[in-house]
Structure 1
């Protein structure tokens, strides 16, 4: 669950938690842009959970940035259980032959018996059976992405606490959530959590949450491999929140990948050049200030502003 901060547990001695299997790491290597696909979900208008301020804007801004980086991107907001299932089914149909797949979620999430669940906007906050029936298990999303021949990336701007367990057994033990990119994850899976296990993530008062703001702010850095990129995002979130929110990175051995590699401006321009979305063009200009397509992007943006 994303919520205003009340109490935070810090990871002692670390600005970013890491979890991985034996020998986990992502080796350096060539990173052709290849075919890259993304599903971005932002849930805010909850019926039985507190409504959230940022996830719609988080989803819109992340989707615009990913399109500008050349990702085939679907962006959806306020998905109920059926809508979430349909979105994942449509996403699955894009994965065959993809070199990189990315799933981004902003909204409420809970942990129940060590498993993390993403919360659709119509989900009930009731019991263990409801969490299995109405929520979307992170592992199910990860397993869906196993069809990708390259790297699978999950970015989860959501909480990882156990509200059901704490409500039903306030004095009981808490099961640490099992990372979606733990030792049993498919090779080449990387997951960045907005917060540490058994903790909560801020929604924030600005347009974007502290986590999504840090994620977007780092994207313009060219040719930064995914693990250093995510570690930098983690440090930034920790700094932005005064140490109250500490992201966690989990990964298995996989190929090197860069979200903003050399050549991504050409792939991005192919996605947004004919776009009718000013946000996509603004994201392109922010991410590729030295691109030869900058003048064309500015002209297209001016045309849109003028109503052409």
Structure 2
């Protein structure tokens, strides 16, 4: 009798943890893009490595991850369109981009690998706007995080010819106004560019990899630590910056065990109770 009871308890625990794992992961999705092999300018080393490492970290955190390397314009657009459908209704959606980008007349553009950008007029047809990326996560019901690791001095800017009208091309990306439940993180503050280093990852990605998976680190403190890491790594030459409008409650990308336990009462208990055949919530907690 005692053995049967123990088997039943173990079986119930397995079902509980399976249910919790499903709840923890099913609403977490991510799109990761790393552009290294540009056809018209010199290849940059880090983005491909950065995308692979960030994708692996997010998978370990329970995200459903799509990683795209060296995206052309068509592939970039297709990835965002597909991700928009996947992310609809998700609890948390993350987009990570590493590669070239630029600001033109106050708008931000991410540059696919097949862009030529002979003139500034081609920006709208050959690149992907940051607004397009934000539109892809607009239907997420919870937190939206966009991480932009825009690289070095943009070689496209140096060779682009003006198309008659006056233009304003800034260094790095322009600032934005975030909407609710959105955090956009730049690898360098607005108007600045990220430093290139002779290592497998950029300083910004190194910082993300160091802190993303740290249990119990609230998201605001997470990005503060990333910023401090990058400043120290680059001797103060590069400082990441965040534009955010986050909920009042603390947000954890990698909750600690204690945090998970505190959230248990918020689960749809009665549905779980019917599935597991427990008589009451109090009885289950006592076990």
Q: TM-score range by the shorter chain?
A: 0.7 to 0.9
Contact 1:33 1:261 in 2 (8 A): no
Give the one of 179, 198, 201 matched to 1:208: 201
Deviation of 1:175 after TM superposition, in Å, equals 5.8
The residue aligned with 1:76 is: 68
CA distance in 1, matches of 2:131, 2:152: 14
The residue aligned with 2:18 is: none
Deviation of 1:164 after TM superposition, in Å, equals 3.7
Answer 1 or 2: higher relative contact order, Cα 8 Å, separation at least 6.
1
The residue aligned with 1:193 is: 186
Q: How does 1:94-105 map to 2 (within 5 A)?
A: 94-105=86-97
CA distance in 2, matches of 1:194, 1:244: 12
The residue aligned with 2:28 is: 36
Tell me which moved more, 242-251 or 194-203: 194-203
The residue aligned with 1:232 is: 225
Deviation of 1:128 after TM superposition, in Å, equals 2.5
Deviation of 1:225 after TM superposition, in Å, equals 1.4
CA distance in 1, matches of 2:175, 2:62: 28
CA distance in 2, matches of 1:175, 1:198: 6
CA distance in 1, matches of 2:133, 2:122: 18
Q: Does 1:258 align with 2:252?
A: yes
Q: Deviations over 1:148-194 (max 9, x none)?
A: 0001000001049786499668xx976685434x1xx3311101100
CA distance in 2, matches of 1:164, 1:88: 25
SS of residue in 2 equivalent to 1:50:
coil
Q: How does 1:1-308 map to 2 (within 5 A)?
A: 33=24, 35-159=27-151, 164=157, 177-180=173-176, 182=177, 185-254=178-247, 256-262=250-256
SS of residue in 2 equivalent to 1:232:
helix
TM-score (norm 1): 0.68
CA distance in 1, matches of 2:43, 2:153: 18
Deviation of 1:256 after TM superposition, in Å, equals 3.6
Q: Kindly tell me: are residues 263 and 104 of structure 1, through their superposed partners in 2, closer, same or farther at Cα, counting changes over 3 Å? A: farther
Q: Deviations over 1:205-257 (max 9, x none)?
A: 11111110111011232111111101110110011000111111111243642
CA distance in 1, matches of 2:132, 2:98: 17
Q: Kindly tell me: are residues 168 and 199 of structure 1, through their superposed partners in 2, closer, same or farther at Cα, counting changes over 3 Å? A: farther
CA distance in 2, matches of 1:167, 1:49: 12
**Which consecutive residues of structure 1, in runs of 5 or more, have no partner in the other structure?**
1-31, 267-308
Count of residue pairs the alignment pairs up: 230
Larger Rg: 2
Deviation of 1:202 after TM superposition, in Å, equals 2.1
Deviation of 1:146 after TM superposition, in Å, equals 0.9
